[in-house]
Amino acid sequence: MNIDEFLRQSIQRNAEEAKKLMAEKKQQRVAEIMQNSGMRNKFRKRTFDTFVVTPENKAAYQRALEFAENFEKQEKGLLFTGNVGTGKTHLAAAIANHLMQNLYIVVFGNVTDIISRIYDTYDKDSDVSTMEIIRYLTSVDLLVIDDLGKEYTSENVRTLLYQIINALYEDEKLVVITTNLSGRELSEKIGPATVSRITEMTEPIIMQGHDWRLRR
């Protein structure tokens, strides 16, 4: 082997090793992002590849995919509405998983999960304040609120939820929300001011079809 060939192979090996190291570091970072997202293991398996596309949900699927693939260009978040079992949570999780794989910071959960993060700060031993948690929730690249309106809503929960939504609104941050409720039902549940903010900052995506769980 002459010196030129030796150098060429050495450079190629170094490039391959560097590429492998970068890929490993990226996967480590993705794992950290997922761990901090609050997303449960069940939802980490819900991707665009595992979503069953039908004529009824094709438009919603395509819009969700376009939202995820062109995230930086989006001016509004998404509000998935429709009956139980039509794939709202799956598409919301697919968006979150796609973004996290591309190193965006995402928080995913229902209102109970999200409010629990705040309630944890009420403990006298907590080393973070309520406002610090709210600032974190509203500073991530994307907040996903699943099954909005299903939770028990005390006046305190309604107030905290408004604080979160209003902060996202004022900072022009994106949010993805799923709900089984109509606008009127949501207003009764979480308050008209919060719903008004959500309506202005999201694009409605109506999910059609029957409960996929019953078709198994």
pLDDT the model gives residue 151: 77
Are residues 45 and 6 both part of a single domain? no
Q: Residue 47 pLDDT > 60, yes or no?
A: yes
The reply to whether 75 and 104 lie within a common domain is: yes
Q: Tokens for 152?
A: 């028990």
Give me the domain span that covers residue 21.
1-37
- Backbone φ and ψ for 109, nearest 5 degrees, come out as 175, 170
End-to-end CA gap in the chain = 62
Percent of the chain with pLDDT over 90: 58
Q: In CATH, what number is assigned to the domain containing residue 210?
A: 3.40.50.300
Q: Are residues 2 and 62 in the same domain?
A: no
**Confidence class for position 15, pLDDT limits 50, 70, 90:** low
User: Cβ(165)–Cβ(172) under 8 Å?
Assistant: no
Residues 148 and 115 in one domain: yes
If asked whether residues 30 and 44 sit together in one domain, one would say no
For residue range 58-88, list pLDDT tens digits in order.
Answer: 999 999 999 999 999 999 999 999 988 899 9
Q: Burial of 74 by CB count in 10 Å (0-12 exposed, 13-18 middle, 19+ buried)? A: middle
| CA dist., res. 46 & res. 96, Å (int) | 9
Q: Is the pLDDT of residue 212 over 70?
A: no
- Please answer whether residues 69 and 102 qualify as being in contact, where contact means their C-beta atoms are separated by less than 8 angstroms: no
Query: How confident is the model over 99-145, as pLDDT tens digits?
Result: 999 999 999 998 888 888 888 888 777 787 888 888 999 999 999 99
Same domain, 208 and 134: yes
pLDDT at 121: 84
Q: Compute the mean pLDDT over every residue in the chain, rounded to the nearest whole number.
A: 87
pLDDT at 94 (0 to 100): 97
One domain, residues 85 and 185: yes
What is the pTM for the complete model shown? 0.84
What integer pLDDT is reported at residue 56 of this predicted model? 92
Residues 43, 32 within the same domain = no
Query: Is the pLDDT at 187 greater than 90, yes or no?
Result: yes
Compute how many other C-beta atoms are within 10 angstroms of the C-beta atom of residue 179: 22
